[in-house]
């Protein structure tokens, strides 16, 4: 799918998203991006068509997930690896990212309302204008004191294990 013209790339993204999760996993493995298993669960909508086009455009060159504007709402993403992931404007409402690896993730303007990030590693994350009301951050592993205070003021919830 390297250097596919945009209409063909869009068609490929739609065809991918029309597959069932098992078929999607097979396709991801064939493309050499089987580590992005969460793509087998995302919804077929405009935001995710655009997202998939980025993944399909040059799968051999993917190092970090580019999820700008992606709709990852209501997904179970336990232990997902979004290291250096760009989640700018992504919709993560009601998603569960329990024990996720989110080092250096960019959540600028992302919607994390009522998401569960309990146990997630959050070192060097960016939270500019992120919606975090009701977002469960557990102990906030890796957050700076300033980030902790800012997120708490904006409605994030922190629970501490005893």
pLDDT digits (tens, 9 = 90+) for 50-98: 999 999 998 877 889 999 999 999 999 999 999 999 999 999 999 999 9
Say whether pLDDT at 161 is over 70.
Answer: no
The answer to whether the pTM exceeds 0.85 is yes
pLDDT digits (tens, 9 = 90+) for 15-56: 999 999 999 999 999 999 999 999 999 999 999 999 999 999
Q: What mean pLDDT is predicted for residues 98-111?
A: 97
Q: What mean pLDDT is predicted for residues 125-153?
A: 93
Confirm if 148 and 127 have CB atoms less than 8 A apart. Answer: no
Mean pLDDT, rounded, of the chain: 93
Say whether pLDDT at 137 is over 90.
Answer: yes
pLDDT at 139: 75
Say whether pLDDT at 132 is over 90.
Answer: yes
What is the per-residue DSSP string for 38-86? Answer: GGGT---SHHHHHHHHHHHH-GGG--S-B-TT-B-TT-B-TT-B-TT-B
Domain boundaries, the chain: 6-61, 64-162
Look at domain 64-162 and name its CATH class: mainly beta
Say whether pLDDT at 5 is over 80.
Answer: no
Element (DSSP H or E) covering residue 7: helix 6-18
């Amino acid at each position: 799918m390297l250097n596919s013209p945009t209409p063909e790339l869009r068609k490929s993204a739609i065809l991918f998203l029309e597959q069932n999760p098992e078929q999607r996993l097979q396709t991801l493995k064939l493309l050499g991006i089987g580590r992005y298993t969460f793509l087998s669960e995302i919804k077929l909508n405009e935001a995710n068509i655009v997202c998939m086009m980025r993944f399909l455009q040059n799968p051999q060159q993917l190092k970090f997930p580019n999820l700008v504007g992606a709709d990852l709402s209501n997904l179970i993403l336990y232990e997902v690896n979004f290291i250096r992931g760009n989640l700018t404007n992504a919709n993560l409402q009601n998603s569960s990212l329990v024990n996720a690896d989110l080092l250096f993730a960019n959540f600028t303007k992302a919607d994390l309302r009522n998401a569960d990030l309990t146990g997630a590693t959050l070192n060097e994350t960016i939270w500019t204008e992120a919606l975090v009301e009701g977002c469960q951050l557990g102990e906030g592993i890796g957050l700076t004191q300033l980030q902790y205070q800012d997120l708490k003021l904006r409605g994030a919830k922190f629970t501490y294990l005893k």
